[in-house]
Amino acid sequence: MTPLTGYLLLAALLFAIGLAGALTRRNAILVLIGIELMLNAANLNLIAFWRYGPHPEALTGFMFAIFSIAVAAAEAAVGLGLVIQIYRHAKTTDLDLMNRMKG
């Protein structure tokens, strides 16, 4: 197993854990944490591909990861702000109790 395969498998596992958390936890904050984990897994992929890719000097994957981190930070801020606002409105962060958009 090459190092790259190892990193990719690790990233895949991390992604799956994050997804599982996002899909199964009731608390909105934990769902967001799960999403953060998925984003991190993607970053790990990008960095790993940059490290072992044919053209590391172009810095493409590296830059992608940096920008991804920046966007993730924005996403976390807005997401948590939304959670707080939802909590104020509904007095709960339990996603199972929020189905106002039911069709």
Partner 1 sequence: MQVTLMTSSHLGPGPLVPWLWLIPALPMIAAGFGALLKQRQRKAAALLAIGSMTASLFIALVAFVYEVKGWASHFPTREVYNFTWFQFGSSGVDLGWVLDPLSAAMALMVTFVGLLIFIYSVGYMAEDENFTRFFCFLSLFGGAMLGVVISNSILLLFMCWEIVGLTSYLLIGFWYHKPSAAAAAKKAFLTTRVGDIFFLLGIVWLFSQTGTLLFYNGGAGSIEAPALAALLQQPAAWGLTAAGAIGLLIFAGAVGKSGQLPLHVWLPDAMEGPTPVSALIHAATMVAAGVYLVARVYPLMAAGAGANGSTVALTVVTWIGAATALFAALIAVAQNDIKRILAYSTVSQLGYMMAGLGIGGVVVGMFHLITHAFFKSLLFMGAGSVIHGCHEEQDVRKMGGLRHEMPKTFLPYAAGMLALSGFPLFFSGFWSKDAILESANHWDPSRVPYFMMVAAAVLTAFYMMRQVSYVFFGKWRGHGHAHESPRVMTGPLAILGFFAVTLGFIGTPAWPWFRAFLENSPLHLEMHAFAESGFWILLATSTVVVGLGLGLGWWLYGNKSPEPEEQDALEKAMPWAWVVLRDKFYIDELYGMTFIAFYKWWARVADWFDRRVWGGAVALVQWVFGLLAQFNRFLDAEIVNGAFDKSCDEIASGGGIVARIQSGRVQAYLRYLALGVVVLAAILIWSSQR
Partner 2 sequence: MSIVFWIFAVITLGGALAAMLLRSLVHSALAVTLSFAGLALMFLELGAQFAGFTQFLVYIGAVAILVVFAILLTRSSEETGSGVFSPTWLRGLVIAAAVFAVLGWSILNSAAALPGTTAEPVASVQQIGQALMGPYVLPLEIVAVLLTSALIGAVIVAMHEKEGAE
Sign of CA dihedral 103, 96, 81, 64: negative
Per CB under 8 A, does 53 bind partner 2? yes
**CB contact at 8 A, 60 and 50:** yes
* Closer Cβ to partner 1, 30 or 66, answer by number: 30
Q: Long-range pairs for 86-91 at CB < 8 Å and ≥24 separation?
A: 86/28
Q: Which of 8, 10, 17, 22 binds partner 1 (CB under 8 A)?
A: 22
Q: Tell me the β-bridge partners of 27.
A: 94
Between residue 8 and residue 47, which ones bind partner 2 under the rule CB under 8 A? 8-10, 12-21, 23-27, 29-30, 32-34, 36-37, 40, 43-44, 47
9: which residues sit within 8 A by CB, 6+ positions away? none
Between residue 66 and residue 95, which ones bind partner 1 under the rule CB under 8 A? 95
Q: How far is the CB of 76 from partner 1 (least distance, A)?
A: 17
Structure tokens at 28: 């909105």
* Closer Cβ to partner 1, 76 or 98, answer by number: 98
Under the rule (CB under 8 A), what is the footprint of partner 1? Answer: 19, 22-24, 31, 95-96, 98-103
